[in-house]
A and B are shown apart, each in its own frame.
Chain A
Amino acid sequence: MDVALETEQLGKRYGKRWALQDCSLRLPTGRIVGLVGPNGAGKSTLLHLAVGLLRPDAGEVRLFGRSPYDNPAVLPDIGFVAQDTPLYRDFTAAELVQLGGRMNRRWDAALARERLAQLGIPPKLPVGRLSGGQRAQVALALALAKRPRLLLLDEPVASLDPLARREFLQSLMGSVTDSGTTVLLSSHLLADLERTCDHLVVLHSSRVRLAGAVDDLVDAHRQLVGPRHIGEPIAGVGTVVRARHTDRQSTLLARIDGVVDPEWTVHDVTLEDVILGYLADGETTVTRTDWEVPA
């Protein structure tokens, strides 16, 4: 299995705060990888480390076997669309296509023009005056025109309205089918990820909580409902990801490794259930006393 992006004990620190810590991942080629986590979880940091914008403070990151930091040799292999799709706002879309041609040795201007024409993007208007959705499409078209081996998208649809979001994901999926590019896509919109991704990385509080192929992850987890449970091991259950209790009943999200004790009712889970389970698990808890209200 070819590896597009590999990190080992990767860490990045801003001052005293670790934005990313102990991150070890292997992302296979040909996948669409979803990078999930709440704001500030370290998604952008990981992406910026992967494209060489940031220097790691710990560990290693390798893009197709090469370290991306301060290494222009990896640049032709990546297409990057940063958060809020920054583009030179006074450039027209046509000029941006031209610009890409001058800043890249491998550049498929025809592909970019074709896509933008199909989407009805006006070529002679400064991109600052386009809608957010159109601007995101321009950024995507530019990233794809590099014919990258790995396409990295940082929250590409977060600021888009539902229609523009849908259109963006449509054109992304269409072009990924054509090119076979590996995609790493960060988002906090779970529904979008569930449809588009076949591989998943869950980040929370600067650490990787979960990583793997979506089907495997969903298959490996179950929701269990049964009598109140106080931490004793359950047959067939590997790890309990999250537990909720009432006075006589417990509901568990668990990674299973065999036939579960028949005392428990077992339910299948969706990808969203799994993700939410891991995110809730990582949540920092604020107690009532922090708010100075009676418990």
Chain B
Amino acid sequence: MIEFVLDARSKVNTYVQLIQQVKQALRVGLLVPGDQLPKVRDVAQSLAINPNTVLKAYRELEIEGLVEGRPGVGTFVRRTLGGPPVADQAELRADLVAWLGRARAAGLSPEDVIALVETTLRATLAAEAVRTQPASAG
């Protein structure tokens, strides 16, 4: 069983924070298939948050196929959330190190690098979203 914590200062929506924490726990192996998530009532009470928020987070996880609700019993983990194989990660990491070298040579400070990565990531994701939207609508 895991315990949720909330970052009150975060601008991230409460239910998103709950989802992120479950996913994080799945990634690091804290939660494995068959484990039960905390009961909605307990989460609502201990965090003093709206039970509908907890329900919404669990529903979202269910839609993603990560957990399943068993009526009257609780919500259970269905599958784990592993990243891509470690070998692929190593390859990507090597590319990134090489790129970072070029960035340093071009005179970018670490802050510049982070800003560049963040804006690029956001722009790329937004562009992808625009590209996929008409397809799903049609």
A residues with CB within 8 A of B: 31-32, 166, 169-174, 176-178, 191-192, 194-198, 268, 270
Contacts and interface: CB of A to CB of B under 8 A. Distances in A.
Nearest to A32: B50
Nearest to B52: A198
Contacts of B45: 170-171, 173-174, 177
A166 B53 CA distance: 17
A195 B48 contact: yes
B34 interface: no
Contacts of B52: 31-32, 198
Interface of B: 6, 8, 11, 14, 40-42, 44-53
A7 to B, nearest CB: 23
A141 B103 CA distance: 63
B44 to A, nearest CB: 4
Contact of B41 (A177, A191, A192): A177
A236 B52 CA distance: 31
B60 to A, nearest CB: 12
B46 A170 contact: yes
Contact of B51 (A169, A176, A270): A176
Given A173-B49, A195-B50, A198-B53, A270 B44 contact: no
A173 B11 contact: no
Contacts of B49: 173, 195-196
A177 B41 CA distance: 6
Nearest to B15: A215
Contact of A174 (B11, B14, B41, B53): B41
A30 B90 CA distance: 50
A196 B48 CA distance: 7
B50 A174 contact: no
A195 B11 CA distance: 12
Contact of A197 (B11, B41, B47, B50): B50
Contacts of B6: 195
Nearest to A178: B41
21 contacts: A31-B52, A32-B50, A32-B52, A166-B48, A170-B46, A170-B47, A170-B48, A171-B45, A173-B45, A173-B47, A174-B41, A174-B44, A176-B51, A177-B44, A177-B51, A192-B48, A195-B14, A195-B53, A196-B49, A198-B50, A270-B11
Given A32-B52, A195-B50, A196-B50, A173 B8 contact: no
Contacts of A176: 44, 51
A151 to B, nearest CB: 14
Contacts of B42: 174
A71 to B, nearest CB: 30
Given A177-B40, A178-B41, A268-B11, A169 B50 contact: no
A198 B51 CA distance: 9
B57 to A, nearest CB: 13
